Amino acid sequence: MCLQAASTMLGSEPMNRDDPAQGLARVRLRIGAAARLAARPSSDITLVAVSKMQSADRIAAVLAEGQRHFGENRVQEALAKWPTLRERTPDVVLHLIGPLQTNKVRDALALFDVIETVDRPKLAQAIAKEMAESERRVPCFVEVNVGDEAQKAGVSPAELSQFLTLCRDELALPIAGLMCIPPIGEAAGPYFALLRKLAARHGLLQCSMGMSADFEDAIALGATSVRVGSGIFGERPGH
Ligand SMILES: *Cc1c(COP(=O)(O)O)cnc(C)c1O
């Protein structure tokens, strides 16, 4: 069965689109289907549930289904929600997926278990310094500006090699992989393929790519984690 038919079938099931537990079930099925099509074990793909702007209650509904990886894009917002949630589920794995200012590095490292947005030398240096002082090391991803967009965060593909040398050789940062947010309004596939190629070239095993609109494509092109928000929780408040 082709992927289109699979998602049409899943989409036609009578489900409440505003129930995060059902949204999660739907996304899990779609990840499984995309993994099968790509002949990959679905255990190779980590679902990061993007819970930015979601209330603690809605997050708790997803935690109750066994989901453990979550993504937040703002340090302050995550600090307000997660310490309490985490008391009940200490094995949660929090990913920072939004821009990080150097003055928030200390807070970020105290709270998050994965930093996906290492994107400039000053930030890499600040993270290395804080890791040394706090003796807490968490896996980091380098964010790549795959479309070379002027206003977008991330290291340009042309500068990635030099930036990785700084991160790994000079600062000894634990770089686990690469992350990208492709340009809006274009087919994402070529950008996912580019990220995968860059990761392979630099001996990095993990690629964080794919969101609600395109995570199946990302899985076909080698994503090891996908970041899905609205596909689970529905439209975010304020949209
Ligand atoms: C919000 C966000 C997502 C999730 O987006 P959806 O389209 O809601 O799935 C993924 N990655 C990043 C970096 C985000 O900021």
The string of pLDDT tens digits covering residues 183-194 is 999 999 999 999
Mean pLDDT of 42-57: 97
Element holding 5 (H helix, E strand):
helix 3-12
Give yes or no for residue 68 having a pLDDT over 80.
Answer: yes
Distance CA 182, CA 215 (A): 12
Q: Residue 90: what pLDDT? A: 97
Please state the φ and ψ torsions of residue 143, each to the nearest 5 degrees. Answer: -85, 125
- CB distance 231 to ligand 1 below 6 Å: yes
**CB–CB of 156/223 below 8 Å?**
no
- CB distance 228 to ligand 1 below 6 Å: yes
The string of pLDDT tens digits covering residues 125-141 is 999 999 999 999 999 99
Mean pLDDT of 20-30: 98
Q: Which of 46, 47, 48, 50 to mutate to test the pocket of ligand 1 (most atoms within 8 A of CB)?
A: 50
Distance CA 76, CA 51 (A): 13
Task: Please report which confidence band the pLDDT of residue 235 belongs to, taking 50, 70 and 90 as the band edges.
Answer: confident
Write the CA distances from 225 to 42, 53, 81, 176, 236, integer angstroms.
11, 21, 23, 12, 21
Task: Please report which confidence band the pLDDT of residue 195 belongs to, taking 50, 70 and 90 as the band edges.
Answer: very high
Sorted by sequence, the CB contacts under 8 Å of residue 196 that are 6+ apart come out as 207, 221, 222
- CB distance 230 to ligand 1 below 6 Å: yes
**Cβ atoms within 10 Å, residue 72:** 25
As beta bridge partners, residue 178 has 142, 207
Task: Please report which confidence band the pLDDT of residue 28 belongs to, taking 50, 70 and 90 as the band edges.
Answer: very high
Distance CA 209, CA 231 (A): 15
- CB distance 211 to ligand 1 below 6 Å: yes
The number of the ligand 1 atom at minimal distance from the alpha carbon of 50 is: 4
